[in-house]
Structures are given as C-alpha cells and as structure tokens.
Structure 1
Amino acid sequence: MLVAKVLHLWMVVSWFAGLFYLPRIFVNLAMVDPDSEKERKRLLMMAQKLYRFMTPIGFLAVALGLWLWFGYGFSGGWLHAKTALVGLLIVYHAYCGRLLQGFRDGRCKRSHVWFRWFNEVPVLLLLAAIYLAVLKPF
C-alpha cells in the first residue's frame, strides 16, 4: 500500500502542475494580439498538449486515491470533504477543457484578468485538501 501512496502523491503533484500551468497559458492566450496568429497557434498547441498530458495523470491520481481509500478503509468526515474537493477539481479540469475548446474555436472572450483569478482556484483547493488530509479535523 505504501507504493500506491507514493504513486498517488506523484500523480497528484503532476496533475496539479498541469492545473497550475494551463490557466497561465490561458492568460497569455487572452493577451495575444489579434494580428499575431503565429503566437496564438503556438500557445494553443502548448495548451492542447498539456491538457492531453494531464488528463490521464488526473485519472490515475483519482484512481489511486480511491484504491488507498478502500484499501486502508479510511473513514470520517474529513475524507468526505476531501472527496468533494477532488470532485471540484475534476469539474475545474473539465472546464479547462471547455475553455481550451473555446480558444480553439475563437469563442473565448474572457479577459486575462479573469484568467489570473481563475488560476487561483486550484491553489485554494490544494491548500484545503492538504489541510484535511494531514490534520483530519473531523
């Protein structure tokens, strides 16, 4: 089970790296000059590759987390709260995919400031998940 825990932490760290960086690419895409098609294509390619890379990593992080949950038989309100946070992260990840599609189609008109705030969501969710997992407050 310790190997599963190591793999879970590795996948979580890797998934969060993508969740932190993809919205930063969105900030840059929102700031691209409309005449700079080459820069826009480069940023879109980077975002698409990152999203395709981080999606299976997120799946593995969740799958390994479930394995640990059922393998160790954890219980308590803290685990249900942490599971809810993971659910929010999955929704955030999927919404990033929708935003990426919007950039591809030229429909995304949100400002770079909005994306800067959007980029803070996984930071707060990670802090809350770590708090729950380490301190198990309830």
Structure 2
Amino acid sequence: MDDNFDIIPEQPEIEISLPEPYHVYVQTDDQGRIMAINSSAFVPAEWGTEIDSGFGDKYHHAQGNYFPTGIYTDDGIPRYKLVENTAQERTEEEIQEDIEKIPTPIVPPTNAELEAENKMLRAQLQAATDRQDFIEDCIAEMAGVVYAV
C-alpha cells in the first residue's frame, strides 16, 4: 500500500494586503475657513487639502463623522478653519464677527402698506389723467377762439 500521507502539497503563498487608509480633504475660502469636507472614497486628491487619514467611518464618511459637530453653526457660519494644514475649531469671537457681518434682512411691506401705496398711486394716476383732460379742453377752447370765423 502506498503511503501518500508523507507528501504535503505545496501551499500557494498568500499575499496579505492591508487596506488603504481613507484620506480626509477640506475646501476652504480665502480666509481659511473650512467650507466643505470629504474623503478619498468620494473625491480625488485634487478636490481639496488633505488634513488627515485613517480607517473607519470617521475617515470614510468624513462629511458627517470627522468633526464632533457640523462644519457650520446654526447661523450658517463656518465652525472650523485650516491652520498649517490642520483643522481647528474657530473661536467664539471669530464666529461672532462673521455673524455681525450678516446683512439685516429687508422686511417686505405688509399687505396693508401695499394697499395704501396702491391707493395713493391710483390717486396720482387719476390726478394726472384729470390734468391731461383739462389741458386738452383748454387747447380745444383756445383753438376755437383763435380759429373762430
């Protein structure tokens, strides 16, 4: 009987490749405030400035997971800035300065105010029409006197 148990088949060499880390990129405005954040899973490296890399949802889904809070305040002010390729939370003073720069919204007139304005405009139009009628009557009367036979 053949004893084939002494022969161990040669095992193919298994290559273990580690996954690539995700890179986190940000886009900034001209003042260095972070306006957008994304990861290499969704955008190319040219998209923005790399600030970090790693594994897990924090890096893979950086848009909502990288920073502990959203990148904008409830007022729509950027909460983070880029300093020497590092993201930093902006101070309350910096955020407050941006809030103070928000223009005061123009309050639209109420319906009552618009109705009053329309009434005044109709009166002005009627006055202009009445004046035009008066001028035409005067011209007709003068023409009758000048050209009377």
TM-score grouping bracket, smaller chain normalisation: under 0.3
TM-score (norm 1): 0.25
Higher strand share: 2
Higher relative contact order (CA 8 A, sep 6+): 1
TM-score (norm 2): 0.23
Larger Rg: 2
Higher helix share: 1
